[in-house]
Amino acid sequence: MILPTNCERIRQSTSEVISPHTWADLSITVIPYYWRLDLSPDFSSFSSVIADDLTVSPLIDDQFLLSSSVPLPSGSHYRYYTDGSLINLGTPEVSMGWSWVQIIPDTGYLNSVATYAHGTIQNWPSSTRAEAAAIYAALSVTPADSTVTIYTDSQAAIDGLRLCASSSYSNSRLFYKTTNFELWASIERLVHTKSLAISPVKVKGHDGNYWNEFADSLANSAHLSDMAPLLPVGAYTSSHPVRLVYDNVVCESNPRRLFKLHYQATFLKDLLSLKRFQFVYCLYDRNDYVVDWELTWFTLNFSPAHDASFQASHAARHYTFKFKLFLDDLPLLEKLKVTRSDLYIDLLTCRSCRDRMEDLMHLILCSKRRSVMHQILQSYQNHLFSKLREASDLADQDPTPSLRKLSSLSCWTISSSNWSSYALIRGCLPTMFIDLFVELSIPRPSAMKVVAAIHNNFIQKLRKHV
């Protein structure tokens, strides 16, 4: 691209100038500058295509958008490149940007870009939501009775738009099952109330398509731009008479799943507030041992395979032992003294060493059991080592870094001040176990099965020897 210039020297010797800056960067720098000068830019040379028949006044909803599309004669074909951008997912700095670029070919606009807009949207962060927000923003500034082509690199957005054609969001059970259902229902409402004929077109992302890259840079720059407006929640969540609101956030995610998650989180919080789970709060080294609750639940429920030597009755005992260990509910003397104070007097001490009170921590630390505990933990580690080596071979990678990471975990050494080995034995397994396999391109579900099987094996040994 080269801008028009009168300078002969440049015109003769230059055909292309490559700039490290995008149009979006430039607009962000230049627009506040001319605002500060309080001068309106002169776009008169670009106005040839503007029709004198401005039939549609913008909806109230649309006032928030700084830019509207360049109006065309009624019934015209609007072309938009839309894009979304998601950054910092999983952190408090998460941000979703959206953008649209209106294209009017062969009318004298620089590279056919008639106008563009960008902004942000809040809550329910996902890249698909950012993409859908871009489409919503573009359609909300499009006049009624138009034909619209949306160019996007998001297949999810295209699928979503196709569903709008069949009124899927306004009158079917699909509504609450769709993620971002309020946003999609609002897009569908725009399509129907404005009688828009929409055709989505898939473009390849990051493939050098000028307009797509332009839209991409606009969406990316929205995160930090003071001028990028936030799509107001009220605008895109009012297509139905009922809204689900919790803590001032409008629900846009499958309510059934959301309630389930909410209750699971509440139950987990209750569980962790029990005294017997206080040790979890002692695991504060985020680089060492962080409990992976998904893996923990999965392993608890993972039943060992039955065969001739390991029958259903064995499995039932294994299961009971595993849960009692997890809940610190094994019939150890210190527990029995509380539950059956008529049978167990306070003086009773560990049956093995006769030296200490027998609670779960002592069961692990007891001097008479130290070497066997150490062996069992060592074989747990070796088991994981061999599986990691297998995974490295499959991925054709050097296993050394992952083996080193695994052996550096504090949980392999037992001591009275080491809560990570206690956590491991209780069955609260660390994120690292899975991460190491995932880093070697093993899918998470498969990694969970491998770890759960190894842990079950460990539980069996523990049950036999302790």
Mark the segment that binds Zn ion (CB under 5 A) among 175-183, 232-240, 362-370, 401-409: 362-370
Q: For Zn ion, which is the closer residue by CB, 369 or 426?
A: 369
Mark the segment that binds Zn ion (CB under 5 A) among 72-80, 99-107, 225-233, 351-359: 351-359
**Judged by CB under 5 A, which of 179, 352, 410, 457 binds Zn ion?**
352
CA-wise closest residue to 383 among 280, 453, 333: 453
Rounded Cα–Cα distance for residues 52 and 352 (Å): 96
In the complex, the smallest distance separating the C-beta of residue 332 from Zn ion, rounded to whole angstroms, is: 11
Instruction: Kindly state whether residue 349 participates in binding Zn ion, applying the rule CB under 5 A.
Output: no
Q: For Zn ion, which is the closer residue by CB, 121 or 366?
A: 366
Greatest alpha-carbon pair distance for the chain in Å reads 105
CA-wise closest residue to 447 among 461, 429, 420: 429
CA-wise closest residue to 364 among 325, 408, 409: 325
Would you state the structure tokens that stand for residue 42, as one six-digit string? 């002169």
Mark the segment that binds Zn ion (CB under 5 A) among 206-214, 256-264, 349-357, 400-408: 349-357
Instruction: Kindly state whether residue 350 participates in binding Zn ion, applying the rule CB under 5 A.
Output: yes
Instruction: Kindly state whether residue 364 participates in binding Zn ion, applying the rule CB under 5 A.
Output: no
Q: For Zn ion, which is the closer residue by CB, 166 or 367?
A: 367
Check if the beta carbon of residue 312 is closer than 8 Å to that of residue 451. Answer: no
Instruction: Kindly state whether residue 353 participates in binding Zn ion, applying the rule CB under 5 A.
Output: yes
Q: For Zn ion, which is the closer residue by CB, 177 or 354?
A: 354
Q: For Zn ion, which is the closer residue by CB, 130 or 373?
A: 373
CA-wise closest residue to 433 among 327, 303, 305, 291: 291
Rounded Cα–Cα distance for residues 94 and 369 (Å): 49
Q: For Zn ion, which is the closer residue by CB, 112 or 349?
A: 349
Instruction: Kindly state whether residue 372 participates in binding Zn ion, applying the rule CB under 5 A.
Output: no
In the complex, the smallest distance separating the C-beta of residue 385 from Zn ion, rounded to whole angstroms, is: 30
DSSP 8-class letter at 151:
E
Rounded Cα–Cα distance for residues 24 and 364 (Å): 62
Rounded Cα–Cα distance for residues 393 and 400 (Å): 11
In the complex, the smallest distance separating the C-beta of residue 352 from Zn ion, rounded to whole angstroms, is: 4
Mark the segment that binds Zn ion (CB under 5 A) among 5-13, 37-45, 253-261, 348-356: 348-356
* Residues contacting residue 143 through CB under 8 Å, at least 6 positions apart: 55, 56, 69, 71, 72, 74, 194
Mark the segment that binds Zn ion (CB under 5 A) among 49-57, 90-98, 249-257, 342-350: 342-350
How many residues touch Zn ion (CB under 5 A)?
4
Instruction: Kindly state whether residue 403 participates in binding Zn ion, applying the rule CB under 5 A.
Output: no
In the complex, the smallest distance separating the C-beta of residue 349 from Zn ion, rounded to whole angstroms, is: 8
Mark the segment that binds Zn ion (CB under 5 A) among 44-52, 119-127, 155-163, 361-369: 361-369
* Residues contacting residue 419 through CB under 8 Å, at least 6 positions apart: 279, 282, 283
Instruction: Kindly state whether residue 366 participates in binding Zn ion, applying the rule CB under 5 A.
Output: yes
3-class state of residue 279 by DSSP: helix
Rounded Cα–Cα distance for residues 11 and 107 (Å): 22
Q: Which residues bind Zn ion (CB under 5 A)?
A: 350, 352-353, 366
